[in-house]
A and B are shown apart, each in its own frame.
Chain A
């Protein structure tokens, strides 16, 4: 099972919006509405930010939103803030191996 494909890095200035893509196949991202996104600050455990493509857990800022088109899911962060600088990982349920993660994207706030 290959990892989902994410850009290695993205960057943006405070106040701007950025989007991180997550590309899979019809056996994972494209086949199910079970994409989730995680934020990880250095030395910390991952934190769930988006589940089932576009749902936000309680307590997560509405600046974070998720969507999906075909085999590609996206995480958008609007009104970028310094505290958003972190690594972001997508994940999907997959019919072949249950769970697969993306390779991760480093977000830099300029």
Chain B
């Protein structure tokens, strides 16, 4: 059974960089059938897609966050990571990592089928 687990600091100071890692177990991150994504949810609000990465390193980012986001992959550790720079209180959220199906024919990412449990990151001094 595939499992994803987010890890990283639960508290980040304003203007600093938020860093999270997602460890994948029960399956290979190097599969050509999937992307690996980050989604966040501010307290009491809806889901926001942050970005996704393919095992080769190709990335897709939410245009509204693109200037501050970097997603990377480490296939040797079966992990992928998120960095969000210059954070403010508005970046306080539960951050989820998830597996995203990759369509073979058009390289789209139709849906997220496995999710981590999520980790709350609070931005505060």
- Chain A residues proximal to chain B, CB less than 8 Å: 1, 3, 32, 34, 36, 38, 45-48, 51-52, 57, 89, 91, 93, 96-104
Q: How far is the CA of A77 from the CA of B109 in the complex (A)?
A: 25
Which of B46, B49, B118 is close to A99, meaning CB atoms less than 8 Å apart? Answer: B49
Q: How far is the CA of A33 from the CA of B112 in the complex (A)?
A: 15
B46 touching A101, Cβ below 8 Å:
yes
Q: Across the two chains, which residue of chain B brings its CB closest to A46?
A: B115
Most A CB within 10 A of own CB, among B49, B110, B116 = B110
B52 touching A1, Cβ below 8 Å:
no
Which of A89, A97, A98 is close to B47, meaning CB atoms less than 8 Å apart? Answer: A89
A99 touching B52, Cβ below 8 Å:
yes
Q: How far is the CA of A38 from the CA of B114 in the complex (A)?
A: 11
- Chain B residues proximal to chain A, CB less than 8 Å: 37, 39, 46-49, 52, 60, 62-64, 96, 100-101, 103, 108-113, 115-118
A52 touching B62, Cβ below 8 Å:
no
B110 touching A51, Cβ below 8 Å:
yes
Given contacts A89-B46, A99-B37, contact A1 B63 (CB under 8 A): yes
Between A and B, 22 residue pairs with Cβ closer than 8 Å are A32-B108, A36-B110, A36-B111, A45-B96, A48-B112, A48-B113, A51-B110, A52-B111, A57-B113, A91-B47, A93-B110, A96-B63, A97-B60, A98-B49, A98-B109, A99-B37, A99-B49, A99-B62, A99-B100, A99-B109, A101-B39, A103-B46
Contacts of A103 in B (CB 8 A): 46
Given contacts A34-B108, A93-B109, A98-B109, contact A1 B116 (CB under 8 A): no
